[in-house]
Amino acid sequence: MFSKILIANRGEIATRIARTCREMGIATVAVYSEADRSSPHLYVADEAVCVGLAQASESYLHGESILAAARRTGADAIHPGYGFLSENATFARAVADAGLTFIGPAPDALSAVGNKIVARRTVAQLGVPVIPALEDLATDPEAVREQVATLGYPLLIKAAAGGGGKGMRIVREEAELVEALSAAQREAAAAFAEGTVYVERFLERPHHVEVQILGDTAGNIVHLGERECSIQRRYQKIVEETPSPAVSAALRQKMTLAALTVARAVGYDNAGTVEFILDNDGNFYFLEVNARLQVEHPITEWITGLDLVHEQIRIAAGEALGFQQDDIRRNGHALECRLYAEDAARGFLPSPGHVLAWHAPQGPGVRVDSGVESQTEVPIYYDPMIAKISTWGADRESARRRMAGALRQTAILGLTTNLPFLIDLMDHPAFAAGDTHTGFLSEHFPNWQPGEQPHRLAAALAASLRRGPHRNGEGQTPLPAQDSPTPWRQLGGWRSGS
């Protein structure tokens, strides 16, 4: 087993990985950029090393700096988290060449699934359905226009080296094609240093369903059921749940079998996710393999009782899975909401800034994976996701009600977040009915606004009575009885204006 793991990531996932390492008695090294000097992910680790400038390309994406930090601190393994270097086969090979262990699939498996076009071809040969697509696009936009006419509209443009919705565009009519192509190519080139895009048929109102797999280096492989991830904005997930309300037991059997077929064919080990798109007639199509720990892994942990990071580390250390498919029990229902620093009333525009106050919800069946604390920054340089709130219930409705309550217990002040949007989403009858599909938000929340402020009077009274801790230590004189910072002050003996 490893003695020290370097965590090549930031935010909530770095914190989450460090927790499991600590439980396993493994020392941890956090890395940070100059923009993250005060980030909460540093103080859950045993050591912290600055790996470069604020721009991710100069720090979290800079493989050489990360490797140098691992060597300097004597780490024997690197956990890449998700995003950044997590699916970079070149980095995984460099880690192995340096005599360290990359906690993730073998580099060859990473390469096999990393390019979506290559993965599509591999999977199609296995008899797993793929969406009709055009992989080799002409360079001349006019020629592309003729090429895609055979597929018909609407179309979806995707980046070959994609992920996270970057470089994706829906094209509903021919007139939008040229602009959408150039935007997708630009975005893909900026995000993945590879601007190749392809075009596939766009299914209306489909479900996005993915299967979690886990395999060891000896070739034992199991699935941990599916996750429904259809509630998306800008092609990025904001709510996930397991099991999927759209997947019957018979369909689950078919989809998990297809996922395992794909994983076995590419010699996959460690944790991974096989993504499918599911239409309303129960037909599913392979989308891609996410060769990493997923953002939404907590909901699978809720219903299986497994710690996926623990399993990843054990597998990377060469240990056998230690359980078989029949040993895995899935219990109840779990939901996750992603809290983003973004303005849902203005096209989900990111809104980085200073967090003045953060209060996480708690209670039975509530889990919070957070990358923020009060008085920290959400920098402009990285993904605006700041926390994940997940809930468990014996059934979907219990998990949903628990989530609706947990979100109302959450407080974040100082920057705009999607918290009120998530509350409205959880309360929506169509969500409660399980009628989720990838067009859900544009159908039900086309022009969402914060709406009613039911407790305005209470808020005004609170603002008048207690002006709170001052950010800059100046301003109004506190009311007389509040000049000492005693917490849990009861109002006995308090006199207004005395």
Partner 1 sequence: MKTVLYVAGEELALEYHQHGDSDAVYDLVWNGQAQPPAHVIAIRDDTITLLVDGRPLHAYVVRDGDRSLISIEGRTYEFNHTPPRHARARQRGTSGSFEPEIRSPMPGKILDVKVVAGEVVAEGQTLVLLEAMKMENALAAEGQARVASIHVADGDLVELGQILVELEPIEAE
Active site residues: 292
Residue (96 or 461) nearer to partner 1, CB: 461
Residue with Cβ nearer partner 1 (90 or 409): 409
Structure tokens at 350: 């990111």
Site for partner 1 contains 129 (CB under 8 A): no
Return the closest-CA partner of residue 356 out of 476, 467, 464, 449.
467
Note whether 439 binds partner 1 by CB under 8 A: no
What's the number of CA atoms in the CB half-sphere (13 Å) around residue 429?
0
Helical H segments across 248-339, by residue range = 249-265, 297-304, 308-316
496 part of the interface to partner 1, by CB under 8 A: yes
Nearer to partner 1, 48 or 441 (CB): 441
Contact 354, 35 (CB under 8 A): no
Q: DSSP 3-state assignment of 102?
A: strand
Rule CB under 8 A: say whether 492 interacts with partner 1.
yes
276/340 with CB nearer partner 1: 340
Nearest to 241 by CA among 306, 334, 304: 334
Asked if 413 is part of the footprint of partner 1 (rule: CB under 8 A), the reply reads: yes
Nearer to partner 1 among residue 53 and residue 423 (C-beta): 423
**Which pair of tokens denotes residue 99?**
């005599």
Nearer to partner 1, 53 or 345 (CB): 345
Cβ atoms 5, 23 nearer than 8 A:
no
Using the contact rule CB under 8 A, the part of the chain among 121-129, 291-299, 325-333, 403-411 near partner 1 is: 403-411
CB-CB contact of 172 with 153 (8 Å): yes
Segment lying near partner 1 (by CB under 8 A), choices 17-25, 131-139, 155-163, 408-416: 408-416
* Site residues (CB under 8 A) for partner 1, limited to 343-402: 345-347, 349-352, 356-357, 359, 380-384
What is the 3 state secondary structure string of 419-437?
A: HHHHHHHHHCHHHHCCCCC
Residues 217-256: x where in contact with partner 1 by CB under 8 A, - otherwise, as a string: -----------------x----------------------
Rounded (5°) CA angle 490-491-496:
150
Q: Which of 443, 444, 407 is nearest to 423 (CA)?
A: 407
Among 175, 250, 433, 491, binds partner 1 (CB under 8 A): 491
Using the rule CB under 8 A, which residue among 124, 190, 257, 394 binds partner 1? 190
Residues 448-477 that bind partner 1 (CB under 8 A): 449-450, 453-472, 475-476
Indicate the pairing of strand 270-278 with strand 27-33. unpaired
Out of 414, 437, 440, 441, point to the residue binding partner 1 (CB under 8 A): 414
* Residues between 27 and 66 with contacts to partner 1, criterion CB under 8 A: none
For the bound state, the minimum distance from the C-beta of residue 231 to partner 1, rounded and expressed in Å, comes to 18
423 makes contact with partner 1 (CB under 8 A): yes
- Tell me, what amino acid is at 273? T
221 token code pair: 């492989």
Check binding of 166 to partner 1 (CB under 8 A). yes
According to the binding rule CB under 8 A, does residue 11 interact with partner 1? Answer: no
Q: What is the DSSP string of 203-234?
A: PSS-EEEEEEEEE-TTS-EEEEEEEEEEEEET
Compute φ and ψ for 225, nearest 5 degrees.
85, -175
Please say which residue, 250 or 458, places its beta carbon nearer to partner 1. Answer: 458
Task: Tell me how many residues contact partner 1 (CB under 8 A).
Answer: 71
